[in-house]
Amino acid sequence: MLFGVVKDIVIRFIFFLQALLLCFWWFEEHIDLPIWIRVIGRLHPAVLHLPIGILVFAIFVLLLRSELKKRAFRNIMMMVLLFASLTASITALLGFFLSHQSDYGADWLQQHRLSGILLSILCYLLLIGFERTQRTDTFFYATGGLAIVTVLFAGHTGGYLTHGQNFIFAPISDPRLHTVSNGSVYQVAILPLLERKCISCHNESKSKGKLIMTDLDKFRHGGKKGKEWVEGAPDKSRMVRYLHLPMKDEDHMPPEGKPQLTSSEIRLIELWIQRGPDFSTKVDDLNDGDSLKILSKMIGGQVSVAPVILYNDIRGASATTVAELNTPFCSVFPLYRDSPALQADFFIQQSYRPEQLSRLKAVADQLVVLNMNQMPVSDQDLETIGNFHRLEKLNLSFSKITGSGFKGWNGFGHLRSVALTGTAVTAENIKPLLAMPALEEVFMANTSINEAQRKQLAKLYPKVRLVVNDFVDNQTLKLSAPAILAEGLVSKGQLVPIRSAMPGVTIRYTLDGSAPDSIGSVIYDKPLSVSRPTFVRAIACKPGWYCSAVTEATIFPEGLHPVSATLLSSPDKQYPGEGGATLINGRKGFLDVYREPSWLGYREQPMEALFDFGEKSKPVSSMVVSYAHNLGSYIFPPAEIEVYAGASVDKLDRLVITKPRQPQKSEPTRMGILSVPLKSASHRYYKLVLKPVAKLPLWHSGKGSKGWVMVDEVFFY
Amino acid sequence: MSKEFIDHRFHITRKHFLGKLGLGLGSVALGSLLIPRLFDGEDAGQESGFVPLPHFAPKAKRVIYLFQNGAPSQLESFDYKPMLNKMRGEELPASIRMGQRLTGMTSGQKKFPLIGSHFQFAQHGQSGAWVSELFPHIAGLVDDMCIVKSMHTEAINHDPALTFMQTGAQQGNRPSMGAWLSYGLGSENKNLPAFCVLLSRGRGNGQGVYSKLWTNGFLDSIHQGVQFSSSEERVLYLKDPSGRDRQETRTMLDQLAKLNDKSYEEFGDPEIQTRIQQYEMAYRMQTAVPELTDLTKEPDSTVKMYGADCLVPGTYAANCLLARKLSESGVRFVQLYHQGWDQHGNLVGEMPLQAQDVDRPTAALIRDLKQRGLLDETLVIWGGEFGRTNYCQGDLSTTNYGRDHHPRCFTIWMAGGGVKPGTVYGESDEFGYNIIRDPVHVNDFHATALHLLGLNHEQLNFKHLGRRYRLTDVAGKVIPGLIA
In chain B, residues with a C-beta closer than 8 Å to the C-beta of A335 are 54, 57-58
CA distance A24 to chain B (A): 6
pLDDT value, residue A308: 52
pLDDT at residue A34, rounded to an integer: 77
Q: A662 and A627 in contact (C-beta within 8 Å)?
A: no
When scoring A89, A291, A293, A352 by the number of chain B Cβ atoms within 10 A, the one with the most, hence best to mutate, is A291
Ramachandran bin of B458, using left for φ above 0, alpha for ψ from -120 to 50, beta for the remaining angles:
alpha
CB contact (8 A) between residue B308 and residue A263: no
Q: Does residue A175 surpass a pLDDT of 70?
A: no
Query: With 80 as the cut, is the pLDDT of residue B22 above it?
Result: no
Mean per-residue pLDDT, B259-284 = 87
The residues near A52 (Cβ < 8 Å, ≥ 6 apart) are: A151, A155
The pLDDT confidence band at residue B385, using thresholds 50, 70 and 90, is very high
**Scanning every residue of chain B, which has its alpha carbon at the shortest distance from the alpha carbon of A351?**
B287
Is a pLDDT exceeding 70 seen at residue B35?
A: no
Length of chain B in residues, anyone? 484
Task: Mark residue A323 as left, alpha or beta (left: phi above 0; alpha: psi -120 to 50; beta: remaining).
Answer: alpha
For residue B115, the distance in angstroms to the closest alpha carbon of chain A comes to 31
- A585 min Cα distance to partner chain B (Å): 29
- Has residue A384 got a pLDDT over 70? yes
Three-state secondary structure call for residue B152: strand
- pLDDT of A521-546, one tens digit each? 999 999 998 888 889 999 999 988 99
Calculate what percentage of chain A has a pLDDT beyond 90.
43
Nearest CA of chain B to the CA of A537: how many Å?
A: 18
pLDDT tens digit string along A248-292?
A: 888 888 887 777 888 888 888 888 888 888 888 888 788 777 888
Residue A480: which of B189, B301, B311 has the nearest Cβ? B311
Q: How confident is the model at residue A688 (pLDDT cuts 50, 70, 90)?
A: very high
Quick one: which H or E segment has residue A443? strand A441-443
Residue B373 and residue A417: Cβ atoms within 8 Å?
A: yes
Q: Which of B25, B291, B480 sits opposite A349 (nearest CB)?
A: B291
Q: Do B56 and A306 touch (CB under 8 A)?
A: yes
Dihedral sign of CA atoms A576, A581, A584, A589 in order? negative
More reliable by pLDDT, A320 or A287 = A320
Longest dimension (CA), chain A: 147
Q: Determine which of A29, A336, A395, A443 to mutate to test the interface with B (most B C-beta atoms within 10 Å).
A: A336
Partner-chain residue, chosen from A331, A397, A477, that has the shortest CB–CB distance to B190:
A331
E-strand spans in B367-415? 378-383, 387-392, 403-406, 410-415
Query: Between A307, A419, A471, which is nearest B59 by CB?
Result: A307
Distance CA B21, CA B36 (A): 10
Pairwise CB contact (< 8 Å): A503 & B296? yes
Residue in chain B lying closest to A22 (CA)? B26
pLDDT of residue A8 exceeding 90, the answer is: no
Chain B residues close to A309, C-beta within 8 Å: 57
Average pLDDT, chain B: 88
Bridge partners of A554, per DSSP, are A535
CB-based contact, A335 to chain B, within 8 Å: yes
- The verdict on a CB contact (< 8 Å) between A445 and B481 is no
Residue B212: name the closest of B177, B172, B182, B179 by CA: B172
Which member of A337, A445, A483 has the closest CB to residue B51?
A: A337
Nearest by CB: B26 against A24, A336, A350 = A24
How confident is the model at residue A306, as a pLDDT? 45
Q: How far is CA A261 from CA A101, A181, A268, B468, in A?
A: 22, 23, 10, 21
pLDDT at B382: 98
- Of the residues A275, A348, A369, A370, the best mutation for testing chain B's interface (the one with the most B CB atoms within 10 Å of its CB) is A348
Model pLDDT for residues A652-663, shown as the tens digit of each residue: 999 999 999 999
- Sign (positive/negative) of CA torsion A219, A222, A227, A230? negative
Three-class secondary structure assignment of B188-236: CCCCCCCEEEEEEECCCCCCCCCHHHHCCCCCCHHHCCEECCCCCCCCC
A350 contacts in B (CB within 8 Å)? 287, 291
Indicate whether A169 pLDDT > 70.
Answer: no
Residue of B23, B53, B291 with shortest CB distance to A333? B53
- DSSP per-residue string spanning B409-473: SEEEEEESTTB-TTEEE-EE-TTSSSEEE--EEHHHHHHHHHHHTT--TTT-EEEETTEEEETTT
- Please give the average per-residue pLDDT across B404-423, as a whole number: 95
Confidence at B38, pLDDT banded by 50, 70, 90 = very low
Closest residue in B to A541 (Cα) is B308
**Residue A417's beta-bridge partner residues?**
A393, A441
Q: Of the ranges A337-341, A351-355, A713-717, B247-251, which one carries the lowest mean pLDDT score?
A: A337-341
Q: Report the residue of chain A nearest B140, measured CA to CA.
A: A471
Please answer yes or no on whether B37 and A419 come within 8 Å at the CB atom.
Answer: no
Closest Cα in chain A, distance from residue B53 (Å): 6
Chain B residues close to A306, C-beta within 8 Å: 56-57, 451
**Has residue A9 got a pLDDT over 80?**
yes
Q: What is the pLDDT of residue B422?
A: 93
- Three-state SS at A4: helix
| Span A470-485, pLDDT tens digits | 787 778 889 999 999 8
Most confident of A188-192, A503-507, A514-518, B407-411: B407-411
CA distances from B191 to A327, B289, B290 (A): 10, 9, 12
A181 Cβ neighbours under 8 A, 6+ residues apart = none
Instruction: pLDDT band for A586, please (50, 70, 90 cuts).
Output: confident
d(C-alpha B268, C-alpha A124), whole Å: 50
Looking at chain A, which residue has its C-alpha nearest residue B288?
Answer: A348
Q: For residue A180, is pLDDT > 50?
A: no
Best A25, A243, A337, A546 residue to mutate vs chain B (most B CBs within 10 Å): A337
Q: What is the pLDDT, as a whole number, of residue B37?
A: 36
DSSP H helices in B312-441: 316-328, 347-371
Query: Distance (Å, rounded) from C-alpha A87 to C-alpha B71?
Result: 67
**Residues of A whose CB is below 8 A from B483:** 305
B362 contact residues in A (CB cutoff 8 A): none
pLDDT in tens, A36-59: 787 888 888 888 899 999 999 999
Flag whether pLDDT at A164 surpasses 70. Answer: no
Mean per-residue pLDDT over chain A, rounded: 87
Min Cα–Cα distance to chain B from A210, Å: 31
Chain A closest-CA separation from residue B314 CA (Å): 13
pLDDT of A41 reads 84
The ipTM (two decimal places) reads 0.85
How crowded is residue B190: how many other Cβ atoms within 10 Å of its Cβ? 21
User: Per-residue pLDDT averaged across A697-707, rounded?
Assistant: 91
Give the pLDDT score at B81. Answer: 96
Pairing of strands A330-334, A342-346: antiparallel
Higher-confidence residue of A17 and A174: namely A17
Identify the residue with better confidence: B179 or A96: B179
Mean pLDDT, rounded, for B452-456: 94
A298 close contact with B: CB closer than 8 A: yes
Put simply, the answer to whether B308 touches A502 (Cβ < 8 Å) is yes
Looking at residue A206, its pLDDT comes to 66
Question: How confident is the model over A406-419, as a mean pLDDT?
Answer: 89
pLDDT at A307: 46
pLDDT band at A68 (very low <50, low <70, confident <90, very high): confident
* Mean pLDDT value across residues B231-253: 86
Residue B296 has pLDDT above 80, yes or no: no
Among the partner residues A331, A336, A500, nearest to B188 by beta-carbon distance: A331
Mean pLDDT of B456-472: 91
For the segment B56-77, what is each residue's pLDDT rounded down to a tens digit?
889 999 999 999 999 999 999 9
Mean pLDDT of the B408-420 span = 96
Find chain B residues with C-beta within 8 A of A263's C-beta. Answer: 476-478
pLDDT, position A108: 75
User: pLDDT, tens digit, for every residue of B324-376?
Assistant: 999 999 999 999 999 999 999 999 999 999 999 999 999 999 999 999 999 99
**Is A31's CB within 8 Å of B451's CB?**
no
What is the predicted pLDDT for the residue at B166?
96
| Per-residue pLDDT at A107 | 66
A37 vs A715, higher pLDDT: A715
Cβ distance B189 to A20 less than 8 Å, yes or no, reads no
Confirm or reject contact between A482 and chain B (CB < 8 A): no
In the predicted structure, residue B47 carries a pLDDT above the cut 70: no
pLDDT at B20: 52
Q: What count of Cα atoms within 13 Å lies in the side-chain half-sphere of residue A533?
A: 25
CA distance B291 to chain A (A): 8
Q: Which residue has the higher pLDDT, A388 or A306?
A: A388
Residues B66, B198: Cα–Cα separation, whole Å: 10
- Name the residue facing B371 among A445, A473, A502 (closest C-beta): A445
Most confidently modeled range among A160-174, A286-300, A344-358, B153-167: B153-167
Average confidence (pLDDT) over B173-196: 93
